[in-house]
């Protein structure tokens, strides 16, 4: 479905979903009488072969051709005919319960993704023909959830590609609840609300598969790369990541969209630290696809990640995610079971792991990471690289010095825990540079114990490990 068709579908669904209709019915429930006065009309819409206005509150039976006429702003419906689907000036989409939605518009704004080469198109055809998946839809997902998902998706993909929201505070079709949300969060309030709802749905495999449709996920990638609101970009990245995470069918379906390529480009252009972290989440989810790793190498993804890793103002959350990403996506043997690795690819992997080994040692040796959790992630990734690629992960002098300093702190902590002398405790803390918060942190002590265990076995002389027992 192209952008115009999504925009058209959105407009219908949004008007249908947001309009607050107040009606009062007669006792027989067959008629609706407007509270402001006027003629009553049937509760069930009576269709003919010509379009007629669907009045507020009327129920539409399945199978009708429904449209929103942009010229009049009126919702109309008629009996469905075979010619309706051939109208090039309208978008016909079959939704739940067989209802067909058409929106008439004379102004079509296209948002085409960049053209693919013949070789790329051939590869896409091979992807769809070569990889099949079997997925049984979840019968426990309610019809209302499907409708809510489609409504939010249509809105997000239309408004998200525009520079400003569709509605303003003066828009009569905006409900009081919507206006309140708009006042609190600004012109992107509706879009943010829709994206949050989509993210909630995206964790479900069925909805993830729908988001993974190449046209749909390409639209989210476009929002991620172009929308001026950082929270919109962050939510778009989370939707991409949630839809592909642990969802094998979605990964195969999204392959033609080159998700990893686009994520690396978005990461390179991004300047918001929170969005950096969200893109890392999406990247960790998408790289497990059939072509994810090849795209990562071709885009020089490692160089982009490391540039941000050492940039000023980078968040510790992003630093930690880099550690987890490298360990889970490249060091773990399970990630390579279904792929054959050439000597050239193995050489590239060894070089890449060597660069990350140096980066992680530098990050720890600078001793500027406050979060124990972040240090845990970086040290875990570094240890994994050193275990698997020992030749390509030489230990730096600055890192050895840092470990030695941490062992001094660990010894002081252990002595302090067994000392009853208040003055002695204070002297131990002052000599080791340990803060009061660190002193009472069980996580910090556990991290130092782990560091002590790996100090000689991984990062020093194994024969010197005997000396480590004296420090226990």
Concatenated DSSP letters for 425-449? Answer: HHHHHHHHT--HHHHT-HHHHHHHH
What's the pLDDT at 161?
Answer: 83
Number of domains in the chain: 4
pLDDT band at 174 (very low <50, low <70, confident <90, very high): very low
Summarize the confidence of residues 147-175 as an average pLDDT. Answer: 68
For residue 401, being part of any structural domain is answered with no
**Per-residue pLDDT for 92 more than 50?**
no
Q: Does 162 or 7 have the greater pLDDT score?
A: 162
For strands 74-79 and 64-69, give the pairing.
antiparallel
Are 155 and 270 in a shared domain?
Answer: yes
Going by the DSSP 8-state scheme, the letter that residue 113 receives in this structure is: P
Residue 42 β-bridge partners: 31
206, 272: one domain: yes
State both tokens at 375: 């240090």
The pair of three-digit structure tokens given for residue 45, joined into one six-digit string: 């819409």
Q: Is residue 137 one of the residues assigned to a domain?
A: no
pLDDT digit string, tens, across residues 291-316: 898 899 999 999 999 999 999 989 99
Q: For residues 180 and 426, what is the distance between their CA atoms, to the nearest angstrom?
A: 55
Write down the pLDDT at residue 56: 82
pTM over 0.75: no
Asked whether residue 399 is assigned to any structural domain, the reply reads no
Give helix 316-326 / helix 343-365 axis angle, nearest 10°. 150
The pLDDT of residue 413: 75
Q: For residue 244, give the 3-state DSSP assignment.
A: helix
Mean local confidence (pLDDT), 228-253? 95
Distances (CA, A) of 170 to 38, 167, 178, 337: 26, 8, 12, 58
Per-state percent for the chain, helix, strand, coil, to nearest 5: 60, 5, 30
| pLDDT in the model for residue 8 | 47
Which of 104, 121, 155 corresponds to the end of one domain? 104
Per-residue pLDDT of 310-330, as tens digits, reads 999 899 999 999 999 999 999
Q: What is the pLDDT of residue 409?
A: 81
Do 26 and 96 fall into the same domain?
yes
Q: Which helix (H) or strand (E) holds 33?
A: strand 31-33
Q: Are 372 and 240 contained in the same domain?
A: no
Instruction: Place 399 in a pLDDT band, splitting at 50, 70 and 90.
Output: very high
Report the C-alpha gap between 379 and 359 in whole angstroms.
11
* Residues 127-145: tens digit of each pLDDT: 433 444 557 788 888 888 9
Residue 79's DSSP bridge partners are: 64
* Mean pLDDT taken over the chain: 76
Alpha-carbon distance of 103 to 68, in angstroms, equals 5
pLDDT computed for residue 215 by the predictor: 94
Distance CA 222, CA 218 (A): 6
Predicted confidence (pLDDT) per residue in 435-445, tens digit: 555 555 677 78
Domain that holds residue 152: 143-299
The residue among 353, 374, 394 that closes a domain is 394
Domain containing residue 277: CATH number: 1.25.10.10
Mean pLDDT across 229-253: 95
Q: In terms of domains, do 347 and 435 share one?
A: no
Q: What is the pLDDT of residue 181?
A: 40
Distance of CA 204 to the CA centre of its chain: 13
294 lies in the same domain as 147: yes
pLDDT band per the 50, 70, 90 thresholds, residue 126: very low
**pLDDT digits over 331-353, tens only?**
985 445 445 567 787 888 999 99
124 part of a folded domain:
no
């Amino acid at each position: 479905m192209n952008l115009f068709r999504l925009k058209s579908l959105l407009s219908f669904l949004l008007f249908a979903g947001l309009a607050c209709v107040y009606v009062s019915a007669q006792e027989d429930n067959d008629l609706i009488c407007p509270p402001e006065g006027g003629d009553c009309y049937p509760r069930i819409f009576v269709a003919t072969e010509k379009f007629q206005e669907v009045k507020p509150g009327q129920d539409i039976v399945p199978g009708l051709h429904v449209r929103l006429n942009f010229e009049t702003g009126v919702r109309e419906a008629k009996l469905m005919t075979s010619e309706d689907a051939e109208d090039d000036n309208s978008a016909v989409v079959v939704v739940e319960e067989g209802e067909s939605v058409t929106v008439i518009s004379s102004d079509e704004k296209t948002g085409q993704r960049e053209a693919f080469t013949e070789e790329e198109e051939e590869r896409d055809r091979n992807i769809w023909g070569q990889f099949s998946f079997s997925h049984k839809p979840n019968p426990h997902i309610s019809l209302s959830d499907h409708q809510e998902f489609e409504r939010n998706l249509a809105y997000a993909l239309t408004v998200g590609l525009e520079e400003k929201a569709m509605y303003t505070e003066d828009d009569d079709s905006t409900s009081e609840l919507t206006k309140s949300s708009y006042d609190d969060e600004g012109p992107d309030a509706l879009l943010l609300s829709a994206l949050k709802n989509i993210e909630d749905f995206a964790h479900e495999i069925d909805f993830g598969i729908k988001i993974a449709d190449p046209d749909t996920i390409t639209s989210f990638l476009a929002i991620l790369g172009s929308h001026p609101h950082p929270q919109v970009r962050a939510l778009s990245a989370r939707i991409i990541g949630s839809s592909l995470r642990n969802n094998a069918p979605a990964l195969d379906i999204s392959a033609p969209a080159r998700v990893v390529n686009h994520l690396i480009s978005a990461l390179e252009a991004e300047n918001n630290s929170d969005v950096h972290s969200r893109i890392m989440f999406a990247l960790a989810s998408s790289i497990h696809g059939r072509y994810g790793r090849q795209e990562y190498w071709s885009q020089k993804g490692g160089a982009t990640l490391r540039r941000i890793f050492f940039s000023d103002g980078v968040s510790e959350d992003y630093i930690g995610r880099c550690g987890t990403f490298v360990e889970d996506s490249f060091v773990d043997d399970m990630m390579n079971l279904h792929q054959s690795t050439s000597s050239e690819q193995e050489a590239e992997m060894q070089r890449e792991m060597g660069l990350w080994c140096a980066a992680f040692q530098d990050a720890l040796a600078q001793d500027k990471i406050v979060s124990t959790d972040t240090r845990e992630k970086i040290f875990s990734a570094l240890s994994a690289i050193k275990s698997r690629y020992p030749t390509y992960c030489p230990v730096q002098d600055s890192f050895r010095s840092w470990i030695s300093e941490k062992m001094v702190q660990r010894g002081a902590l252990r002595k302090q825990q067994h000392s009853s002398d208040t003055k002695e405790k204070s002297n131990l803390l002052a000599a080791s540079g340990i803060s009061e918060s660190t002193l009472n942190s069980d996580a910090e002590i556990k991290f130092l114990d782990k560091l002590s265990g790996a100090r000689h076995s991984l990062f020093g002389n194994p024969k010197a490990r005997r000396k480590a027992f004296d420090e226990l």
